Structure 1
Amino acid sequence: MPELVADLRVIDADTHMTERHDLFTERAPKGYEDRVPHVEKVDGVDMWVIEGTTFGKAGSGGTIDHAGKKHPFRASQGGSWGIDDVHPAAWDPEVRLRLMDELGVHAQVVYPNAIGLGGHNLVNSVADPTLLRLCVELYNDAMAEVQADSGNRLLPMPIMPAWDIDGCVREARRCAEMGMRGVNMTAHPQDSGSPDLGDRAWDPFWEVCAGMELPVHFHIGASQTALSYFGTTYWPSQDDYVKPAIGGASLFLNNSQVLLNSAYSGMFDRHPELKMVSVESGIGWVPFMLEAMDYELEENAPEWFDKLQKRPSEYFRDNWFATFWFEKGNGDLQHLIDTVGEGNVMFETDFPHPTSLHPNPLEIVREQVSALRPETQVKVMGGNAAKLYRI
């Protein structure tokens, strides 16, 4: 049987934490207890409510039951499941740490669920800027506590107030001072009224993130624009259980747009130490996109191509990371990783979501990962993440 490198320290670069129902209310300042996000029964279903507006079901945020069995999305997270139905490791950090020990995972990077994968659900539900800022800070404070209590084994990525560039600068600094190891950004801040990510108006934010060693993370589906793919590709002819597979697969290429915008914008010439991460997108699309980036820009905008200090594809090598989990690289994962860059790839499990590698992630990837060179295994399965997140 193929073997993984001995004493491999595995770091899982993409997991999710279901928001506890009291996450915001237990930290709310006096007078805001009923205004911050809280859970109410609406037609018998637990719903997240803020300022009298519902912004999503207070559901399970996962497909793993208490016995550790994974269920289809439609029968669990996308069905009737509430937070009591999902495995406690989905929402309880102490249980999560015990599960990580059982699975042989040293550390995990953590993303939200109900508030939006990039925190974008909040801005669509709140008009009061003071309340909106408070919600962001309460969530990030809670996640900073999770990180500290875990001894830096759980690394939640704090959400940024993408509707306010100056607010992003302040919040990034505040989160860095709390010891957090990156930031979680929506892919389309223009959905919230801000300029797109390639606009120079974002330079103060990139400067802070680069200077304070805060890699900027873009999870697939981290905006309303990105999620439109998930809903509009549900062809009526397809079975209800097939539709989530169509939507899920449609999301994987979203981040190619962020990569293009960042590379073409020249932001990395101005901020060469800035790091970005494409989360839960896989890596198989990267080699083609790197070729396409170079070809299309030189073909269509040769003068702009010459203004950049590097070929667009080189910015991926120097400034970007991507995560993989189930890919086999058409039987040659080593070749795929070499093409992407063995220093640019991190391992993920996506626990407890429907595409996760549960119940035994290391066994599931053992065959393809053990065929990698030992030095590649060390980098991809944990070494790259350890360096990026200062573990």
Structure 2
Amino acid sequence: MTYVDVKGQIDQTLHDPSVEEFNTTKLLRNAARQAEQRNYKDFLIVDCDSHHYETDLLPEILRFMEDPVIKHAGLARGQLGRSGLVPHMVGSQDMAGRITRYPGRANEKTPPEEHREITLMRRWMDALGVDMACMFPTPMLGLSTHPQLDVEVALARAYNRWLCEVVLARDPRLCSMLYLPLNAPDEALRMVEEFSGKTGVIGFMATGNRNRPVHDNAYMKVYSALQERDLPLAFHAIYNWNDQSLAQLNKFISVHALGFTLCNMVHMTNWIINGLPERFPKLKTIWIESGLAWIPFLMQRLDNEYMMRTSEAPLLKRKPSEYMREMFYSSQPMEMVGNIEMLESTFKMIGAETQLLYSSDYPHWDMDLPSTIYDLPFLSENAKRNILGGNAQRLFKLNPVFSDVKLAARQTAAD
């Protein structure tokens, strides 16, 4: 199949009046044109933070649940988002219905021979020019706020089993950092031991508000197991309007602006000041979906405090900013409105050429296309290649798998 053939199939989907009104490929036709104009065919693009809606898949996921009582309760109540299994996150991520891909996905047609989630993932990936994507859930990112620990653990395990066996094992372009229920350290350790080495598992992920700070001694065995297996630990930020620190905010824009950054700032401050980079020097950490603007601030703030009160961080051998420059960061949402010089300075401070990982956050309302990185005037081509895919390839030890569109384009060019 040539590039012309593949592109023709996409074009036919876009313009065929018999195709269902809602179709991801049709919805993202402008993104596909943008990717074609930028000639991504020579770039490996790895999306380190993308999402799907496990909300639609409760019956499938619950087949993998070990607890019969929680399983029955979930099945009896219908969809995952209304089942009581996942805490409801207050806020208007859907832009009051203006983001059509949210309600539209339920009506999208997919072929029966392939699992629906794989088809939907491939459609948006091909349109954006993404070759490989790290999948995360969406409502379940709030599991860490669940008041019932047994529900968090049971659902996390069921989801992880479903994702590994049903999706990741069937498509080499898809991978994931699996959810860790750090509210239950023994169960988190069990998950690391059980799922490490599974096809498509490239690390593990923790989310927002915890019952314990990240430096609690109960977590040391989890960190040790990750370091021993050379698997990264990602902190995926979330917002929680019920958190006391955000309770005074009266607009979603406010809690969204501060909540995601505050979440990771608290975890990182505890991580560094309590000496975890020295205790686990080979454990790689990734800070996801909190943007980049907070990082220079925290570097400067912690360095300043540390130089005045080094006795309170006795395990540290270097300034906090030096440890932060060795960590990894996802790009989305990249704050770049109106001040390209400040963004360039931020890239220099974090060592973006080797430490920044492209992420789209698709299909969320504030997603970023690969052009967010590709179009930056201050980046060399080598830096763009690293950020868009090379850094992730090295960090996760990926065997690159290119999309059919790119492979066809290369074959056409070779012919």
Q: Give the TM-score normalised by structure 1.
A: 0.77
- Give the equivalent residue in structure 2 for 1:48: 82
Q: CA deviation at 1:46?
A: 7.8
SS in 1 for 2:202: coil
2:397 equivalent to 1:390: yes
- Give the equivalent residue in structure 2 for 1:295: 304
SS in 2 for 1:349: coil
2:140 equivalent to 1:115: yes
Rounded Cα–Cα distance in structure 1 between residues aligned with 2:152 and 2:227: 26
SS in 2 for 1:37: helix
Rounded Cα–Cα distance in structure 2 between residues aligned with 1:226 and 1:344: 30
SS in 2 for 1:309: coil
- Give the equivalent residue in structure 1 for 2:163: 143
Conserved 8 A contact 2:47-2:132: yes
SS in 1 for 2:361: coil
The superposition leaves residues 236-257 of structure 1 with CA deviations (integer Å, 9 ceiling, x where unpaired) of: xxxxxxx333332122322111
- Give the equivalent residue in structure 2 for 1:159: 179
Conserved 8 A contact 1:48-1:55: no
Rounded Cα–Cα distance in structure 2 between residues aligned with 1:390 and 1:26: 31
The unaligned stretches of length 5 or more in structure 1 are: 64-71, 235-242
Q: CA deviation at 1:348?
A: 1.1
Q: CA deviation at 1:25?
A: 2.6
Q: How many residues align?
A: 349
Q: CA deviation at 1:264?
A: 0.4
The unaligned stretches of length 5 or more in structure 2 are: 1-33, 111-115, 399-415
Classify 1:135/1:54 alpha carbon distance in 2 versus 1 (closer, same or farther; 3 Å): closer
Which one is further off, 311-320 or 31-40? 31-40
Query: Which is richer in helix?
Result: 2
Amino acid at match of 1:188: N
The superposition leaves residues 135-174 of structure 1 with CA deviations (integer Å, 9 ceiling, x where unpaired) of: 22211011213222121x2222211122221221111121
Q: CA deviation at 1:298?
A: 2.2
Conserved 8 A contact 2:74-2:80: no
Query: Which is richer in strand?
Result: 1
2:349 equivalent to 1:339: yes
Amino acid at match of 1:97: R
Rounded Cα–Cα distance in structure 1 between residues aligned with 2:127 and 2:189: 39
- Give the equivalent residue in structure 2 for 1:12: 47
Classify 1:174/1:228 alpha carbon distance in 2 versus 1 (closer, same or farther; 3 Å): farther
Q: Give the TM-score normalised by structure 2.
A: 0.73
- Give the equivalent residue in structure 2 for 1:97: 122
Rounded Cα–Cα distance in structure 1 between residues aligned with 2:297 and 2:213: 24
SS in 2 for 1:328: coil
Rounded Cα–Cα distance in structure 1 between residues aligned with 2:388 and 2:244: 29
Identity of aligned residues (%): 20
| Greater Rg over alpha carbons, structure | 2
- Give the equivalent residue in structure 1 for 2:3: none
Q: CA deviation at 1:232?
A: 4.3
Classify 1:21/1:77 alpha carbon distance in 2 versus 1 (closer, same or farther; 3 Å): farther
Classify 1:98/1:109 alpha carbon distance in 2 versus 1 (closer, same or farther; 3 Å): same
Conserved 8 A contact 2:40-2:129: no
Q: CA deviation at 1:328?
A: 2.8
Rounded Cα–Cα distance in structure 1 between residues aligned with 2:65 and 2:244: 30
Amino acid at match of 1:268: P
* One of 304, 328, 332 as aligned partner of 1:324: 332
